[in-house]
């Protein structure tokens, strides 16, 4: 489980608690509704209960990698890529997680979570689409939607747009089979229907801040707010678009000169699919100028196009290089390049495998001091104890200590009521600093959010801490050793210090 990069530190504890309700039964976040991950949690929650977090993470990642590898191989075959150039494209696409998305921070190879499974299924569905095997394609798109409603939903809409694309109007050629395809998709996406209905019928909680605003501008601006994206990311998007357009033009000219072959049509159709995936992306950027509450942006219009554009760019670049450079003439260069990259990856893998023997370690954002402190908490405090801990740091608190905590910035609810309470809890633990940022004159920025939360939490005095402990029925307050309070000290493990409330249990309940 990765505490700093991937989301397993969030989604895997949710999956375990979904199956084993007695595990940290009093944690606020773990007990919120999670119908949007129902299928994922049934499968991987069962594995966690029986095999543990580490084994489930490894098995789940290997499963997702297998789906992605299968999809890329099938797609490479349709595009006419030989093994060498397919390997180069695959390495370029998956070598670093942050390169998988064009600008909005999306990824599909990395940690184990619902969207990783969904993207793996979609990558297999795309070559099936190009092969006109629509029934299997719809089944996989439906399963992807069951695992992750937004990833699968945008993929389905993109595919539907591709099927309706004139002048071929592929959908019309299917005749009565159209209804069979839709029936297969709906049946396979059945697990996505409850969260969709829940989202549609749920009323917005009263208050001066909307759940969509919190979702888009406070928690996920790096994914959902174009005005929060760094200029270098816009440059990267422009580079992707430029290379993609150049490759498409060059491959079309080559096909016109040599005569169109099946692989040329497949490359053209992948281009059409990519272009349609960017339609919601462009609409999202346009609407961002007016969507001050995040009402539309909350549905991730950038998500699918942000992934498909780099995918198509790398694959079509490999196709272009293959047409220009013979593998036989440049075999040694290609093999040396692939060999160096594989050697590097094998070295990293070996280091990870060795480190897994002492799991968790720095790779899971667990330093030795935090490991000692979390072990002490697990072994020396009541199982039903509730802790106040830093809302930004130690995102893996619940997993490491097996104890409940009030709120973590990373642990984001998905229901409207839950999102509003999430904001209120963060604001309380930041001493009201969060409200000052989001209702003040400062520009919305997640870095400022984190700084405001951290500064506010570190400035809490004894009286404020006691009020928070009473409000949230907490007995313990975990903070950094520099944060001095007039409370009994339970345990010190530098740089951490654990305080205990002076109030008796019956005082906390009253």
Delimit the domains of the chain by residue range.
33-324, 368-509
Q: Which of 446, 157, 221, 34 is nearest to 212 (CA)?
A: 221
Residue 154 to residue 171: CA distance in whole angstroms: 18
Contacts of 355 (CB under 8 A, 6+ apart): 361, 362, 363
The length of the chain in residues reads 510
DSSP state of 219: I
DSSP state of 204: P
Residue 68 to residue 88: CA distance in whole angstroms: 15
At 388, which helix (H) or strand (E)? strand 386-388
What Rg value do the Cα atoms of the chain yield, rounded? 25
CB atoms within 10 A of CB 239: 12
Residue 350 has a pLDDT of 67
Residue 35 to residue 31: CA distance in whole angstroms: 12
Upstream peptide bond of 255 is cis (omega within 30 degrees of 0): no
- CA quadruple 439, 444, 445, 446: dihedral sign: positive
Residue 205 has a pLDDT of 79
What percent helix, strand, coil does the chain show, rounded to 5? 65, 5, 30
Residue 291 to residue 302: CA distance in whole angstroms: 14
Contacts 24+ apart (CB under 8 A), 282-288: 284/226, 285/226, 288/225, 288/226, 288/227
- The strand pair at 476-480 and 496-500 is best described as antiparallel
Residue 503 has a pLDDT of 53
Residue 392 to residue 476: CA distance in whole angstroms: 17
Residue 400 has a pLDDT of 87
CB atoms within 10 A of CB 503: 15
Contacts of 482 (CB under 8 A, 6+ apart): 458, 495
The answer, as to whether pTM is greater than 0.75, is yes
CB atoms within 10 A of CB 468: 19
Question: pLDDT truncated to tens, each residue of the chain (510 aa)?
Answer: 333 446 788 889 999 999 998 899 889 999 888 778 889 999 999 999 999 988 898 899 999 999 999 999 999 999 999 888 888 888 888 875 555 788 988 888 888 899 999 999 999 999 999 998 999 999 999 999 999 999 999 999 999 999 887 756 677 777 777 888 889 999 999 999 888 888 777 777 777 788 888 888 888 888 899 988 889 999 999 999 999 999 999 999 988 888 889 999 999 999 999 999 999 999 999 999 998 888 899 999 999 999 999 999 999 999 998 887 765 555 666 667 677 767 766 776 666 666 666 666 666 667 788 888 999 999 999 998 999 999 988 888 998 899 999 999 888 898 888 899 999 999 999 988 888 776 654 556 677 788 888 989 999 999 999 999 999 999 999 999 999 888 999 999 889 999 998 655 444 444
CA distances from 487 to 99, 213, 407, 455, 498 (A): 47, 37, 21, 20, 10
Contacts of 427 (CB under 8 A, 6+ apart): 433, 434, 435
- What is the SS3 assignment for 198? helix
Residue 154 to residue 486: CA distance in whole angstroms: 53
Q: Which of 118, 127, 154 is nearest to 70 (CA)?
A: 127
- What is the SS3 assignment for 366? coil
DSSP state of 2: -
Residue 467 to residue 406: CA distance in whole angstroms: 13
Residue the block writes with tokens 């070598």: 95
For the CA atoms of 480, 481, 482, 488, the dihedral, rounded to the nearest 10 degrees, stands at: 110
DSSP state of 136: H
Task: At 489, give phi and psi (nearest 5°).
Answer: -90, 125
Residue the block writes with tokens 């996406």: 189
Residue pair 178/129 in contact by the 8 Å Cβ criterion: no
- Strands across the sheet with 386-388, in order? 404-405, 386-388, 476-480, 496-500, 489-493
Question: Which of left, alpha, beta for 155 (phi over 0: left; psi -120 to 50: alpha)?
Answer: alpha
């Amino acid at each position: 489980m990765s505490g700093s990069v991937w989301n397993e530190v969030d989604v895997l504890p949710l999956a375990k608690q979904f199956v084993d309700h007695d595990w940290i039964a009093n944690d606020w976040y773990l007990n919120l509704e999670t119908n949007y991950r129902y299928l994922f949690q049934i499968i991987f929650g069962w594995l966690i209960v029986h095999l543990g977090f580490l084994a489930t993470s490894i098995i789940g990642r290997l499963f997702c990698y297998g789906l992605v590898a299968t999809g890329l191989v099938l797609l490479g075959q349709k595009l006419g890529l030989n093994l060498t150039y397919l390997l180069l494209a695959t390495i370029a696409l998956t070598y670093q997680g942050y390169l998988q998305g064009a600008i909005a921070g999306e990824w599909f190879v990395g940690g184990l979570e619902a969207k990783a499974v969904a993207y793996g299924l979609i990558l297999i569905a795309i070559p099936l689409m190009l092969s006109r095997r629509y029934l299997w394609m719809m089944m996989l798109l439906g399963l992807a939607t069951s695992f992750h409603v937004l990833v699968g939903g945008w993929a389905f809409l993109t595919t539907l747009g591709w099927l309706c694309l004139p002048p071929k109007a592929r959908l019309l050629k299917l005749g009565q089979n159209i209804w069979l395809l839709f029936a297969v998709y709906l049946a396979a996406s059945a697990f996505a229907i409850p969260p969709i209905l829940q989202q549609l019928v749920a009323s917005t909680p009263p208050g001066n801040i909307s759940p969509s605003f919190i979702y888009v501008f406070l928690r996920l601006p790096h994914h959902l707010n174009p005005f929060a994206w760094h200029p270098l990311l816009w440059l990267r998007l422009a580079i992707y678009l430029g290379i993609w357009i150049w490759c498409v033009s060059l491959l079309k000219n080559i096909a016109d000169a040599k005569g169109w072959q099946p692989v040329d049509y497949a490359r053209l159709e992948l281009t059409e699919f990519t272009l349609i995936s960017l339609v919601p992306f462009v609409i999202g950027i346009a609407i961002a100028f007016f969507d001050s509450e995040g009402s539309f942006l909350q549905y991730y219009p950038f998500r699918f196009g942000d992934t498909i554009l780099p995918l198509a760019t790398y694959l079509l670049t490999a196709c272009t290089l293959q047409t220009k450079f013979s593998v036989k003439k440049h075999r040694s260069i290609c093999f040396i390049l692939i060999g160096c990259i594989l050697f590097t990856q094998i070295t990293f893998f070996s280091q990870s495998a060795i480190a897994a023997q002492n799991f968790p370690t720095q790779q899971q954002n667990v330093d030795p001091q935090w490991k000692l402190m979390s072990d002490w908490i697990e072994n020396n405090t009541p199982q039903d104890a509730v802790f106040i801990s830093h809302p930004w740091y130690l995102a893996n608190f619940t997993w490491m200590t097996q104890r409940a905590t009030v709120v973590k910035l990373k642990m984001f609810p998905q229901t409207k009521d839950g999102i509003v309470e999430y904001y209120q809890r963060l604001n309380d633990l930041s001493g009201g600093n969060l409200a000052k940022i989001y209702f003040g004159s400062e520009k919305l920025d997640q870095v400022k959010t984190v700084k405001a939360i951290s500064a506010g939490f570190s400035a809490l005095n004894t009286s404020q801490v006691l009020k928070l402990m009473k409000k949230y029925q907490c007995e313990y307050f975990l903070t950094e050793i520099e944060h001095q309070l007039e409370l009994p000290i339970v345990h010190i493990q530098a740089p951490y210090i654990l305080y205990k409330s002076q109030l008796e249990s019956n005082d906390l309940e009253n």
